[in-house]
A and B are shown apart, each in its own frame.
Chain A
Amino acid sequence: MRQTSKMNNRDDSFYIDKIKNGETEAFRYLVDKYKRMAFTLAVQVVHQPEVAEELCQDAFLKAFHGLSGYKGDAAFSTWLYRIVYNTAVSYMRKKRRYTLPLEAEVLQVDDGSLDPMEQLSKDESLRMLDQALLDMEEEDRFLLTLYYLEERSVKEMAHIVEQSESNVKIRLFRGRKKLYTILSSLLKQEVDSLRLS
């Protein structure tokens, strides 16, 4: 994994150097490589695919015009996802007067007595995952997606969302716990409704 990441990083720097030397077309490679993940992350924040796509366009454009400022201290993807995150969060802040949501109460589940994921079919699982994610804060959705899909380290995630490592650790821990709890609760409801019918 680490080796692949290093290799990708070297690939990226090759194209970044080309762009910096005036070969604009080389940017297409980076766009094609990262557009899916960037879009996925933006969707997690704004939850509207059409808006997320436009925000991604803006984020990539910002990345292109700001490439001279990219020093290569972090992976290009880390730098890019940070731009995506800032663009999406700024949009959300402009869209509504940003108020910090109250800390949602973590639901209680019987540990061990229920094994929800194993009882779900693939489609049901995905439907419930989407439903559960909707109940979470956008920043938590963003972090969980980075954590599970990209296997990013806490340090990298902290860099992307511009928060301290300890803060990201706490958010991640709470987010994972909350997500699992919501999923378990959803499954319980599903099972109960089946029993009643």
Chain B
Amino acid sequence: MDENTKYKHDRQLKQLFELRGTASPGLDFTDRLMSKVYQPATDNNMNYWTLSGVVSLLVLGLVVAFSVWPELRENFQVIFNIANNFNINSLWGEAASLPPLIWGSIAVIALLLLLDRFIIRMLHSI
């Protein structure tokens, strides 16, 4: 195929694409997008996993606090007693019997979940 023919074919294809033009998204595209843009930053940054991470850390913090200060357990027991006959000490006995490896794993997972957004952002910015 000589250069002229190639150029002609290319020109014809270009004309076709131009004739076809660009497609239009829905009329509300911009408004819909802007409403998402205006959503509070927490909606975008605080996703399910981050929330799970925070909850996991809170639970873990409570467990550590219970193990360090037994009086705290007693105080919580008072609160639970108001509601029902829930015995926090028996529950604590069950939980305390779990091997440290499990608690360590929970702590690592919680930290990873909490930090995932920051890690992704950091990688994205590199």
Say yes or no: A126-B33 contact (C-beta < 8 A), given A53-B25, A111-B5: no
Measured between beta carbons, the chain A residues less than 8 angstroms from B29 are 31, 35, 39, 53, 56-57
- Shortest Cβ distance from residue B43 to the other chain A in the assembled complex, whole angstroms: 11
- Shortest Cβ distance from residue A28 to the other chain B in the assembled complex, whole angstroms: 6
User: Is B1 in contact with chain A by the CB < 8 A criterion?
Assistant: yes
Measured between beta carbons, the chain A residues less than 8 angstroms from B25 are 35-36, 39, 49, 52-53, 56
Beta-carbon nearest neighbor of B36 in chain A: A61
Q: Is the interface of B mostly helix, strand, loop or mixed?
A: helix
Q: How far is the CA of A61 from the CA of B44 in the complex (A)?
A: 10
Q: How far is the CA of A69 from the CA of B1 in the complex (A)?
A: 46
Query: Which of B12-20, B68-76, B96-104 touches A?
Result: B12-20
User: Is B30 in contact with chain A by the CB < 8 A criterion?
Assistant: yes
Per the 8 Å Cβ criterion, residues 27-50 of B in contact with A are 29-30, 32-34, 36-38, 44
Measured between beta carbons, the chain B residues less than 8 angstroms from A130 are 20
The interface size bin for chain A is 35 or more
Say yes or no: A176-B23 contact (C-beta < 8 A), given A64-B37, A111-B1, A148-B18: no
User: Is A94 in contact with chain B by the CB < 8 A criterion?
Assistant: no
Which 5 A-B pairs have CB atoms at the shortest separation, nearest pair first? A148-B17, A117-B12, A36-B22, A40-B22, A39-B25
Report B's interface with A, CB cutoff 8 A. Answer: 1, 5, 9-10, 12-26, 29-30, 32-34, 36-38, 44, 124-125
Report A's interface with B, CB cutoff 8 A. Answer: 24-25, 27-28, 31-32, 35-37, 39-40, 43, 49, 52-53, 56-57, 60-61, 64-66, 68-69, 111-112, 117-118, 122, 125-126, 129-130, 144-145, 148-149, 176, 179-180, 183
